[in-house]
C-alpha cells in the first residue's frame, strides 16, 4: 500500500514525473515512485506554512527519516518513508539529505548569494534526485547525469519564476534579458555535453532521465525570447509536448 500511495501522490502532485515513471519498466517504477513522492513531500514543506520555524521542523523530520533509513534502524511510520526504505541505500539517503538541506532556501526570502550558490541549489535539488534515481536503476556516469539534471533544474526554475516572485522570492541573480539568456545558454551547453556522452548512461539508468524530456524546448524558447520567463509564457503546446514525450521515452532522453 505504501508504494500505491506514492504512485497516487505523484500522479496528483507531479504529473510530469508520473508520466515519465509510467513510461519506465515496471521494476523501475518501484524505485521512481517512492523517490518522486519523497521529492514532493520535501519540496512542498517550506510552502505549507508562513512560519519559518515550522517549515524548518518539517524539513528536519525528513532529514531524520533519511538518517534512520541510512542507519537501518526502526523507521517512523509514514507511507512514503516505508516505500523509500525498501529501495534506498545509505549512499542514497546521504545524497537526498543534501536535497533537503538545499530546500531551506525556499523557506526564506533571501536572494541567492552568487552564481555558485544558485548552481549549488540546482545541483542539490534537481541533480541529487536524478542522480540517486539513475544510480539505483543501473550503471551511469555521475557527471553525465548531473550535467543533464542541472539543465533540467534550470528549465524548471525558469517555469517557476513567476510563482516564486509572487511569493516574494528572488530566484534570479540577473533578471535582465541578457542574464536570463546567459543562464539558459549555460544550461543548454551542459545538456548538449551530456548528450554527447550519453553512452555512459545505461538504458536502465536512462529511465530516470526521461523526466527531463521537457527541458530542451524550454531552454530553446528562453534563448530565443528571454521575456517569456517574466511573462509566464513557457507553457508548451500540449500536442507538441506529447509528441516530444513519446519520442524521448522511445528513443532516449538525449533527444
Q: Please spell the DSSP secondary structure of 161-178, one letter per residue.
A: HHHHHHTT----S--SHH
Extended beta strands in the chain, E state: none
What pLDDT is recorded for position 116? Answer: 97
Q: Are residues 22 and 130 in the same domain?
A: no
Q: Which three cell numbers stand for residue 13?
A: 502532485
Q: Residue 113's pLDDT is what?
A: 95
pLDDT at 83: 95
- Residues spanned by the domain of 39: 1-108
Can you tell me the distance from the alpha carbon of 91 to that of 27, in angstroms, rounded to the nearest whole number? 20
Task: Say which residue the cell 509514514 belongs to.
Answer: 78
> Domain check: are 68 and 113 in the same one?
no
Same domain, 71 and 130: no
Nearest CA to 209 out of 155, 133, 136 is that of: 133
Residues 235 and 218: their CA atoms lie apart, in Å, by 8
Q: Which of 82, 108, 134 is the last residue of a domain?
A: 108
The answer on 241 and 121 residing in a single domain is yes
* pLDDT tens sequence for the chain (255 residues): 699 999 999 999 999 999 999 999 999 999 999 999 999 999 999 998 889 999 999 999 999 999 999 999 877 889 999 999 999 999 999 999 999 999 999 999 999 999 999 999 999 999 999 999 999 999 999 999 999 999 999 999 999 999 999 999 999 999 999 999 999 999 999 999 999 999 999 999 999 999 999 999 999 999 999 999 999 999 778 899 999 999 999 999 998
Q: Assess whether 11 and 103 both reside in one domain.
A: yes
- 99 and 123 share a domain? no
Q: Do 53 and 177 fall into the same domain?
A: no
Last residue of a domain, one of 108, 126, 150: 108
Query: What is the domain count for the chain?
Result: 2
- Judge if 139 and 244 occupy the same domain: yes
Angle value at C-alpha 23, between 44 and 237, nearest 5 degrees: 70
Burial of 239 (0-12, 13-18, 19+ CB in 10 A): exposed
Q: Domain check: are 42 and 79 in the same one?
A: yes
Instruction: Give yes or no: residues 173 and 84 share one domain.
Output: no
Is the same domain home to 241 and 178?
Answer: yes
Q: Examine the domain organization and report whether 230 and 123 are in the same domain.
A: yes
108, 129, 154 — which closes off a domain? 108
DSSP of the chain: -HHHHHHHHHHHH-HHHHHHHHHS-HHHHHHHHHHHHHHHHHHHGGGS-S-HHHHHHHHHHHHHHHHHHHHT-PPPP-HHHHHHHTT--HHHHHHHHHHHHHGGGGGS-PPPSSHHHHHHHHIIIIIHHHHHHHHHHS-B-HHHHHHHHHHHHHHHHHHHHHHHHHTT----S--SHHHHHHHHHHHHHHHHHHHHTGGGB-HHHHTTTGGGTTHHHHHHHHHH-THHHHTT--PPPHHHHHHHHHHHHHH-TT-
Amino acid at each position: 500500500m505504501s508504494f500505491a500511495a506514492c504512485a497516487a501522490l505523484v500522479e496528483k502532485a507531479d504529473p510530469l514525473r508520473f508520466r515519465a515513471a509510467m513510461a519506465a519498466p515496471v521494476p523501475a517504477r518501484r524505485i521512481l515512485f517512492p523517490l518522486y513522492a519523497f521529492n514532493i513531500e520535501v519540496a512542498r514543506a517550506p510552502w505549507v506554512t508562513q512560519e519559518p520555524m515550522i517549515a524548518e521542523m518539517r524539513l528536519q523530520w525528513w532529514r531524520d527519516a533519511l538518517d534512520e533509513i541510512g542507519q537501518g534502524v526502526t523507521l517512523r511510520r509514514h507511507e512514503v518513508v516505508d516505500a523509500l526504505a525498501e529501495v534506498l541505500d545509505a549512499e542514497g539517503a546521504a545524497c537526498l539529505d543534501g536535497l533537503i538541506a538545499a530546500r531551506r532556501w525556499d523557506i526564506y526570502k533571501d536572494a541567492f548569494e552568487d552564481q555558485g550558490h544558485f548552481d549549488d541549489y540546482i545541483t542539490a535539488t534537481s541533480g541529487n534526485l536524478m542522480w540517486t534515481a539513475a544510480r539505483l536503476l543501473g550503471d551511469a556516469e555521475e557527471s553525465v547525469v548531473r550535467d543533464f539534471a542541472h539543465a533540467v533544474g534550470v528549465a524548471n526554475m525558469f517555469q517557476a519564476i513567476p510563482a516564486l516572485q509572487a511569493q516574494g522570492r528572488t530566484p534570479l541573480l540577473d533578471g535582465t534579458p541578457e542574464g536570463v539568456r546567459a543562464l539558459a545558454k549555460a544550461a543548454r551547453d551542459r545538456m548538449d555535453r551530456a548528450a554527447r556522452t550519453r553512452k555512459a548512461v545505461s538504458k536502465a539508468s536512462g529511465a530516470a532521465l526521461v523526466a527531463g524530456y521537457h527541458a530542451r524546448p524550454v531552454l530553446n524558447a528562453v534563448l530565443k525570447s528571454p521575456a517569456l520567463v517574466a511573462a509566464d509564457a513557457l507553457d508548451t503546446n500540449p500536442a507538441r509536448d506529447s509528441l516530444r514525450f513519446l519520442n524521448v521515452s522511445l528513443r532516449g532522453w538525449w533527444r
